[in-house]
């Protein structure tokens, strides 16, 4: 197939020489480096590029494989030139469903049952149907791939029936969306013919789970035919309306139709729009997509590295690490190994599904990482990773027994036991899980880097910050804009840790004040692509920029009583020297501490002078 594509291209748009030169330029390779990747001599590549000879069939195949893996024929955003569509693995092109389209689809589905159910229950009925649609569309994509491989669809399906491992998730005929939506009939056994659509949907999810045990407890939690006081919980008519919304051709959910963490985004939207709208807190902290990509850009993941998210939600941060790794090294076939743990059952299920759908190597575990971490070594200690990323619940209160009875050496060896908020406990967990050269990016509340600084009293959080700073583990702090996160208007920040800094960064901390790098939105603001690039570039270069970033020494942080807030060290742009209220309070407390120390010093001197006066 690669050879045919290459020959066709030679006849229409470019010569072999131009193709090879384009590939070299795209990958920033010398002729010698390209020769090594193609397993030919430098002289051979030189002759090809000079037009003195042409590649043979086997060499053409290698060239086209390399071009496909590197995205040579795609646009800079990973989509083909012309925008809006992309093609991969023989899957037909389609427009990528963005956030607005996703939200419109879910809103329309929710409106279909509005008034029939309490708003917080919308997700209970909508999400399993969404999962079925996503799984079915992905299955259809894989059948199409097999059809291209084996020659026709009937042959592909026959082979697939004998070997379900050829696809990510096998969807039995009665559970495919074309049957669910009523567009194709299915010959049910006489004793199993569903009497209602509700019965059919319940049978559908159970059939999928029978063939895919990893989905048990994910899509089979709802009985669509359930009755209460003689009435159906949700009618066939309402179910049919949801199905019809999802069947709209605009809402195809195959491999190349939606973003990688599409299911997680859907779950997040339904929680935010309906559960919280009824005064019920979702109790879950999701990371905006652009913040996740910013964290991945900062981590610079390399092929083969192992990464861990101890509060992995729908697996979104780990997926973004893999996507950035592929972009940074498009020719590598070595994936990251991704491990996550998630407490909440629904998001754990989505994480499992996301990992498998996107061919991610690794594992997802269910449970509370603080109380019962499950990603461990054979000796019972926490497993070590190259990268740790996470967005744990901010200011989370924990039972003191968690700290006192810690069996994993997370707290006392890393600065001591924290106070009432668990932000630094999570950071201690992260650093315990890092290899000797490991690095981490953790999202925390802004108060985590300031609480206790400037106080006259002993403060446990400040003491832990001091330990981290004095042991040179803090590589940087990025202050994010307000109102990015769905369940809070607070700014939040990314605290970056490094077990072993490069020589140039030792004893230094990069602080980025990115509070102005956002686009206004309703109801939430968001980082722009340009903002992500600017922030990551400032952090990675470690070069100060007036009004935006600073590089401070460990000694300077100590002088500030271990206050790590970027706003303390980075002056506001456009000559605006006014302080936010929280910063003003911090500055006042710090000044008060300095004044009290000076007063005490003067008092000691005066006491000594009095003693001298008395002896005279």
Per the CB < 8 A criterion, the answer to whether 80 and 74 are in contact is: yes
Q: Would you say residue 487 has pLDDT above 90? A: no
Which band of pLDDT confidence, cut at 50, 70 and 90, is reported for residue 78?
A: very low
Which tens digit of pLDDT belongs to each residue from 523-578? 788 899 999 999 999 999 999 999 999 999 999 999 999 999 999 999 765 655 55
Half-sphere exposure of 312 (CA within 13 A, CB side): 37
Which tens digit of pLDDT belongs to each residue from 347-376? 888 898 888 888 889 999 999 999 999 999
Closest CA to 263 of 166, 172, 133: 133
In the prediction, which pLDDT does 587 show? 54
Percentage of the chain exceeding pLDDT 90: 53
Q: Would you say residue 235 has pLDDT above 50? A: yes
Hey, CA dihedral for 31, 37, 41, 44, is it positive or negative? Answer: negative
This prediction has a pTM of: 0.73
In the prediction, which pLDDT does 14 show? 42
Same fold yes or no, 93-278 and 289-570: no
DSSP class per residue in 409-420:
--SGGGT----S
Per the CB < 8 A criterion, the answer to whether 529 and 422 are in contact is: no
Structure tokens at 187: 């010959």
Higher pLDDT, 76 or 472: 472
Which band of pLDDT confidence, cut at 50, 70 and 90, is reported for residue 284?
A: low
Q: Would you say residue 285 has pLDDT above 70? A: no
Which tens digit of pLDDT belongs to each residue from 492-532? 999 999 999 999 999 999 999 999 999 988 778 889 999 99
> Which DSSP helix (H) or strand (E) runs through 529?
helix 529-541
The residue ranges of every structural domain in the chain are: 2-73, 93-278, 289-570, 580-616
Please report, for residues 171, 220, 353, 520, the alpha-carbon distance to residue 211 in angstroms, rounded to integers and kept in the order given.
7, 13, 14, 45
188-200: average pLDDT: 94
- Mean predicted lDDT score pLDDT of the chain: 84
Q: Which CATH architecture has domain 93-278?
A: Up-down Bundle (1.20)
Exposure of 34 by Cβ count < 10 A (0-12 exposed, 13-18 middle, 19+ buried)?
Answer: buried
**For residue 52, cis peptide bond before it (omega within 30 degrees of 0):** no
Which band of pLDDT confidence, cut at 50, 70 and 90, is reported for residue 117?
A: low
Reduced 3-state DSSP string for 443-477: EECHHHHCCCCCCCCCCHHHHHHHHHHHCCCEEEE
In angstroms, rounded to a whole number, what is the distance separating the alpha carbons of residues 299 and 321? 8
In the prediction, which pLDDT does 580 show? 52
In angstroms, rounded to a whole number, what is the distance separating the alpha carbons of residues 215 and 364? 13
In the prediction, which pLDDT does 162 show? 94
Q: Would you say residue 94 has pLDDT above 70? A: no
59 contact partners, CB below 8 Å, separation of at least 6: 38, 40
Which tens digit of pLDDT belongs to each residue from 288-344? 889 999 999 999 999 999 999 999 998 999 999 999 999 999 898 899 999 999 998
Q: Would you say residue 176 has pLDDT above 60? A: yes
In angstroms, rounded to a whole number, what is the distance separating the alpha carbons of residues 605 and 613? 12
Which tens digit of pLDDT belongs to each residue from 17-53? 778 888 877 777 777 678 777 877 666 776 777 776 7
455-472: average pLDDT: 93
In the prediction, which pLDDT does 406 show? 94
413 contact partners, CB below 8 Å, separation of at least 6: none
420-438: average pLDDT: 96
Q: What is the dihedral of CA 118, 121, 123, 124, to 10 degrees?
A: -150
In the prediction, which pLDDT does 470 show? 97
Enter the CATH code of domain 289-570. 3.40.50.150
156 contact partners, CB below 8 Å, separation of at least 6: 143, 146, 147, 149, 150
Which tens digit of pLDDT belongs to each residue from 379-426? 999 999 999 999 999 999 988 899 999 999 999 999 999 988 999 999
> Which DSSP helix (H) or strand (E) runs through 85?
strand 85-88
In angstroms, rounded to a whole number, what is the distance separating the alpha carbons of residues 456 and 435? 36
In the prediction, which pLDDT does 345 show? 82
In angstroms, rounded to a whole number, what is the distance separating the alpha carbons of residues 476 and 439? 11
In angstroms, rounded to a whole number, what is the distance separating the alpha carbons of residues 351 and 56? 44
In the prediction, which pLDDT does 475 show? 98
Top-level CATH class of 2-73?
A: mainly alpha
In angstroms, rounded to a whole number, what is the distance separating the alpha carbons of residues 183 and 325? 41
Hey, CA dihedral for 102, 103, 108, 110, is it positive or negative? Answer: positive
Q: Would you say residue 171 has pLDDT above 80? A: yes
| Range list of β-strands (E), 505-610 | 508-513, 549-553
In the prediction, which pLDDT does 488 show? 82
Q: Would you say residue 477 has pLDDT above 50? A: yes
* Three-class DSSP category at 479: strand
DSSP 362: E
């Amino acid at each position: 197939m690669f050879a045919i594509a290459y020959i066709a291209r030679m006849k229409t748009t470019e010569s072999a020489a131009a193709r090879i030169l384009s590939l070299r330029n795209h990958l920033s390779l010398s002729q010698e480096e390209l020769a090594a990747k193609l397993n030919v001599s430098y002289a051979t590549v030189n002759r090809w590029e000079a037009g003195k000879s042409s590649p043979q069939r086997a060499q053409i195949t290698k060239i086209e494989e390399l071009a496909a893996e590197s995205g040579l024929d795609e646009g800079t955003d990973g989509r083909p030139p012309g925008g809006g569509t992309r093609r991969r693995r023989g899957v037909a092109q389609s427009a990528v469903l963005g956030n607005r389209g996703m939200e419109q689809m879910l809103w329309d589905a929710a409106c279909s049952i509005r008034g029939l159910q309490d708003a917080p229950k919308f997700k209970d009925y909508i999400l399993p149907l969404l999962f079925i649609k996503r799984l079915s569309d992905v299955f259809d994509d894989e059948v199409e791939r097999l059809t291209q491989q084996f020659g026709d669809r009937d042959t592909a399906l026959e082979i697939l029936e004998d070997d379900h491992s050829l696809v990510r998730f096998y969807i039995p005929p009665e559970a495919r969306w074309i049957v669910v939506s009523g567009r194709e009939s299915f010959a049910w056994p006489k004793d199993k013919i569903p009497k209602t659509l509700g019965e059919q949907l319940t049978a559908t999810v159970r059939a999928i789970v029978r063939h895919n045990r990893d989905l048990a407890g994910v899509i089979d939690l709802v009985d669509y035919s359930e009755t209460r006081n003689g009435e159906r919980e949700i009618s066939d008519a309402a179910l049919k309306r949801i199905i019809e919304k999802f069947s709209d051709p605009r809402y195809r959910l195959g491999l190349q139709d939606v973003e990688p963490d599409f299911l997680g985004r859907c779950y997040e939207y339904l929680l935010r729009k309906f559960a919280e709208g009824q005064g019920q807190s979702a109790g879950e902290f999701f990371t905006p997509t652009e913040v996740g990509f910013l964290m991945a850009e900062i981590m610079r993941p390399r092929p083969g590295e192992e990464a861990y998210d101890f509060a992995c939600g729908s697996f979104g941060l780990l997926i973004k690490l893999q996507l950035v790794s592929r972009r940074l090294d498009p020719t590598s076939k070595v994936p990251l190994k991704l491990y996550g743990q998630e407490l909440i059952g629904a998001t754990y299920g989505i994480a499992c599904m996301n990992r498998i759908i996107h061919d991610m190597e690794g594992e997802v575990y269910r449970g509370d990482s603080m109380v019962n971490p499950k990603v461990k070594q054979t000796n019972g200690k926490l497993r070590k990773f190259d990268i740790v990323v996470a967005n744990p619940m901010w200011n989370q209160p924990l039972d003191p027994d968690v700290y006192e009875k810690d069996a994993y050496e997370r707290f006392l060896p890393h600065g001591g036991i924290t106070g009432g908020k668990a932000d630094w406990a999570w950071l201690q967990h992260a650093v315990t899980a890092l290899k000797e050269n490991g690095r981490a990016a953790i999202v925390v509340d802004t108060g985590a880097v300031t609480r206790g600084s400037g106080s006259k009293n002993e403060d446990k959080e400040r003491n832990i910050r001091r330990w981290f700073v004095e042991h040179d583990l803090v590589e940087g702090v990025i202050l994010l804009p307000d109102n990015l996160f769905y369940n809070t208007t607070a700014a939040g920040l990314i605290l970056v840790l490094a077990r072993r800094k490069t020589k140039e960064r030792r004893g230094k901390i990069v602080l980025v004040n990115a509070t102005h790098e956002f686009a206004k939105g309703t109801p939430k603001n968001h980082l722009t692509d340009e903002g992500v690039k600017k922030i990551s570039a400032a952090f990675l270069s470690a070069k100060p920029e007036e009004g935006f970033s600073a590089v401070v020494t460990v000694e300077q942080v100590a002088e500030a009583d271990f206050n790590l807030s970027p706003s303390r060290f980075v002056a506001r742009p456009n000559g605006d020297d006014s302080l936010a209220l929280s910063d003003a309070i911090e500055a006042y407390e710090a000044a008060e501490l300095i004044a009290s120390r000076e007063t005490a010093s003067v008092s000691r001197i005066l006491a000594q002078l009095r003693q001298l006066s008395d002896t005279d």
